[in-house]
Each structure stands twice: as C-alpha cells, then as structure tokens.
C-alpha cells in the first residue's frame, strides 16, 4: 500500500483528493493535516465522506511515515512549507499549488499527456493549474506539430470552486448566482505555464497567447474555447489530435459539441474540433477540481508509483 499524507486537507481540492483516495485500492491515508480543524472528523468538513472514513484531521504530521505527500495549501505556501521542513530521502511530493510549475528546484510539470515518461521517473511533481490543463490540452497538439502560426485566442469559463474554499466578494452566492464576469484578462497567472510548454514544444513560436478568463455562475467545471489560423481541414485537425492523444488515458476527441456535464465528477478532458473559414476552433471541457487538480494529482501519483494511471479514477460523470 502507498502511504499518503495530505497537507492543507480542509480545502476543495483536498476534499476531492480524499474522496478519491479513500476508495483507491492501493492507498492508505496516514494523515490529513489541518491546524484549524485538528481533532475533527474529516467528514465534519467534507460532508460527502460520511460513511466512507473515520479519519480525523491532525495538527501534526510525520513525513517519515509516508511514501508521498500532497501539498494542497494556497499558492506560495509550498515553498514556505519546505523552508520549515526537510524532505526525507525517497519521499515523493505532489504539489497542487503553483510554486514549482516553472520546474524550478527539480520539479517535473505534471501534465501526463506530454510528460508521462518524466513523471514516471521523478520524486517531485508540480501539478498543473486548472485553466492551464484545459487550455494546454486544446492547443499543445498544434505546438507539438509546429503548426501554431498565429496568435492563440482563448476564452474560458470556470465554476466558483476554482476560487477556493475561502469566501470572498466574487464567490458569495448572492453575487455569483445568475452572474458572469471577466477577470484577469490577458494576465492570468496560468499563462506562464501555458507559455512554457508551448515554447518547449514549438521553440520558434513568437505570437501572443491571449486569454480571457470568465467567472461562471455554477460550482464546477471549465469550458475553454481556443481558436487559431490554420490551413488544415477539419478532418486533418481531428486526425492530428486523435493521433496525439491515442495513448492518453483520459483525454479524448469527441465528434460533436462538448459540454460540462460530460466531464464533471470525472478525470476526463473532452475536445471538439471545428473549422470555420481560416479559423480552427478547439473546445475543451474538464472538471476543474479533478482533471484540473486532484484527479490529475492522483493520475500522477499512479504513474510515479508504477500503477496503471487510471487506478482509482474510473469515475462516472453526473450527466444530469
């Protein structure tokens, strides 16, 4: 059994991580750390786990007692954690914050569709951002083929869980309900990791990646629409994408319109591809808490420990 520890276990991503791991056939959860909830049952916070586990939150943790630790605290807190703690030899780390997504300090960027071999060999894993996952899966096949030849224009809408569990003015129900809004247009932090991987695959690419994020009035899921100039036919583009993802466990080309209900509660990414005149449009849908966070983290854990990457992740979409 893989012995697992979770730091920052009271948030949305940690709740989804616990939901997956309590049912994972090869995992034993040793600790779920949360100073503010220490002593309480995990299901007192993550109420969907009533009847699934009697695990309690702990105020202490022993990194020597686990094989892998998931860091689920806020951005910037992972570097602070390692400033205060020493990593035991052989301990694997999966960081769900953005601290190491630039692959600093020996971390590998954990997008299995492009980095599977490196993920299998690393002990230090930086889990991708949610918008970044949906967008990269939409455009990286073009970059890998050297076919990005224009600006990339993206609009993507996300559910309220993408803002985290801590309440704020733009996550309050009375503001978010029946409302949508643009935020961080052209300057969202996930553009850094998107740009890094586009340039890794197509070093000569020198155009802009324009991204307009939108807050949605729903709880979970991301729909990203990206369009670029392209000389390919729709059939050629579909063939390119299907070949690129032929070995992907969770990313699939769908031959019709995609929607969030196909992927919410799963670790899937579904892509649809259309050609309109000179424009190629790729629509990408994921669950921001699963393929965009905790599901992908478990997928990466499976790869790091030599398990089939879909272990514990055969999840059914809610659909209705």
Is there a contact between 223 and 157 (Cβ–Cβ < 8 Å)? Answer: yes
| CA atoms of 279 and 274, how far apart (whole Å) | 8
| CA atoms of 314 and 20, how far apart (whole Å) | 10
DSSP state of 217: S
What's the distance, CA 254 to chain centroid?
20
| CA atoms of 66 and 189, how far apart (whole Å) | 32
DSSP state of 220: S
Cα dihedral value 68, 69, 72, 74, nearest 10: -130
Is there a contact between 10 and 295 (Cβ–Cβ < 8 Å)? Answer: no
| CA atoms of 21 and 103, how far apart (whole Å) | 26
Q: Of residues 105, 130, 149, 269, which has the active-site annotation?
A: 130
In the β-sheet with 269-276, what is the strand arrangement from edge to edge? 181-182, 209-215, 152-158, 222-229, 279-286, 269-276, 251-253
Catalytic (active site) residue 105: no
Catalytic residue list: 130
């Amino acid at each position: 059994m893989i012995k697992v520890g979770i730091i920052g276990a009271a948030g949305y991503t940690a709740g989804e991580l616990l939901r997956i791991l309590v049912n994972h056939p090869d995992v034993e959860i040793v600790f779920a750390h949360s100073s503010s909830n220490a002593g309480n049952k995990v299901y007192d916070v993550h109420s969907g786990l009533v009847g699934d586990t009697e695990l309690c939150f702990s105020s202490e943790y022993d990194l020597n007692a686990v094989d892998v630790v998931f860091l689920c605290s806020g951005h910037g807190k992972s570097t602070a954690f390692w400033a205060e703690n020493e990593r035991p030899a052989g301990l694997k780390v999966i960081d769900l914050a953005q601290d190491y997504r630039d692959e600093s300090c020996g971390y590998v960027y954990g997008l299995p569709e492009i980095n599977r071999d490196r993920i299998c060999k690393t002990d230090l894993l930086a889990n991708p951002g949610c918008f970044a996952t949906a967008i990269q899966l939409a455009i990286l096949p073009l970059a890998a083929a050297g076919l990005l030849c224009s600006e990339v224009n993206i609009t993507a809408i996300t559910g309220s869980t993408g803002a985290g569990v801590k309440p704020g003015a733009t996550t309050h129900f009375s503001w978010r309900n029946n409302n949508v809004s643009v935020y961080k247009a052209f300057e969202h932090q996930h553009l850094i990791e998107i740009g890094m991987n586009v340039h890794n695959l197509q070093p000569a690419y020198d155009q802009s990646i324009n991204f307009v994020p939108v807050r949605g009035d729903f709880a979970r899921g991301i729909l990203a629409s990206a369009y670029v100039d392209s000389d390919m036919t729709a059939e050629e583009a579909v063939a390119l994408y299907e070949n690129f993802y032929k070995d992907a466990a969770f990313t699939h080309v769908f031959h019709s319109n995609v929607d969030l209900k196909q992927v919410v509660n799963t670790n899937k990414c579904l892509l649809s591809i259309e050609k309109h005149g000179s424009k190629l449009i790729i629509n990408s849908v994921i669950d921001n808490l699963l393929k965009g966070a905790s599901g992908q983290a478990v997928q990466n854990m499976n790869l790091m420990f030599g398990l089939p990457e879909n272990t514990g992740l055969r999840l059914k979409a809610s659909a209705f």
